[in-house]
Structure 1
């Protein structure tokens, strides 16, 4: 849908808050905490978490940190001016807030964006919660002025990083753990020895390591396509003229999810849950691979 940028604010070092509305002032689609939208920035598409109030159907807010070593998407978002038209797809939610007796939220840097609406929802519902928010320095931590009372701020230049192992050791099966942040933080949270698996959202696809070549077979035609080590399944499908919907090409949005009828996919996306990975009946063709032949539902 075509939206208009109605406000932009600098809310932390290299972080801009963008407010989007429909040009006719009409209601935007509903969404729940954890949802994101796909923002079209020229020939790039980037995913940004909604960080506004789901009850406000007039305005969507997204916060974008400029990535100096990125591929240009965040720089284009920072260049947007009030009045610019912005094409947005969604919302979609691959990081939903599940019912729980208690919540532990851990946010690192710009990872606060999907967490903030979750904290507000838990507080509004009267459910006990705890938020540990880590940043490089206080001035780089977005939404400092909007955080509810009781949030534990950990600017690393002032107090150092939190002891995540000790933090997680105090959680029980009734506590749902949510984390969004850099890979090192997610790895620490995901390695807790007991309790249900944490809910995590990554900024980028999982590392592939040393990719190898394999084959994909298209179930509808029996066509077998080799996938070289330096190309993705999506690249190979497109070169063969097979139409596949895609958006991010980074394993973060879920648009290119494709059914797997046989074979063992190696998942490198940030969309699927651990249970969905174990089932292995879908994969994201933009990043995921295999060590053997995959039969795809195409």
Structure 2
């Protein structure tokens, strides 16, 4: 019988406990540092911008004078932009995920396609801006319109939605599909009536993150030539527009202190818009989670 040295066992356990406490403390300090940084950032933005959140701020267009500057055109333009980005990216993203998971054969070509879709999630946004400039602005002659910007932003977030939808569809148990086939349902009926309703919570989780990125991106809009200040509201999808990130970017780079405060107010408006948009998506996701 092998002799067990209890002292060495106790020493190893104590050393592991010490390492565990050290790592726990480091992780706690890292989390605390991140939370403090966010808290300071929020405090600075709120204290600088809350005083400018007046009714006139939402009714005025952009201006060279801080006291007359407003977000009317930028806010309406962002709403128009998301009305293009959300349906285009969701329809294309979910459709691509359904094909890759339910219809595409398991071969090297499709594996290569899946790998490249995942890699596209890490491509810098300015590259998608150049792609949108080449295809939508110049080749299709859409100019710096809402449609061109919406298609560009849809390309930007499309890989994220595709990957999230693939994972959500893949997570649906095979037994559920087999039960549907056993009841006489076709493949398409199984996808639309069984797989998609079960996968919608996961799909919407990815869509929330993707749309949140799209609403705050500035680089693609700059590349395709979206104007910073306009004195009119868009009338259709081919109209020129500006967006909240562009307006905030223009204010933030100005040297006047008043414009820094106006930029902080614009950031607060963007955050409120983002919270409202995400709340709607979370409500829909939770509703489907209760059903399935």
TM-score (norm 2): 0.19
Higher relative contact order structure (alpha carbons within 8 Å, sequence separation ≥ 6): 2
Bigger proportion of residues as helix:
2
TM-score (norm 1): 0.19
Bigger proportion of residues as strand:
1
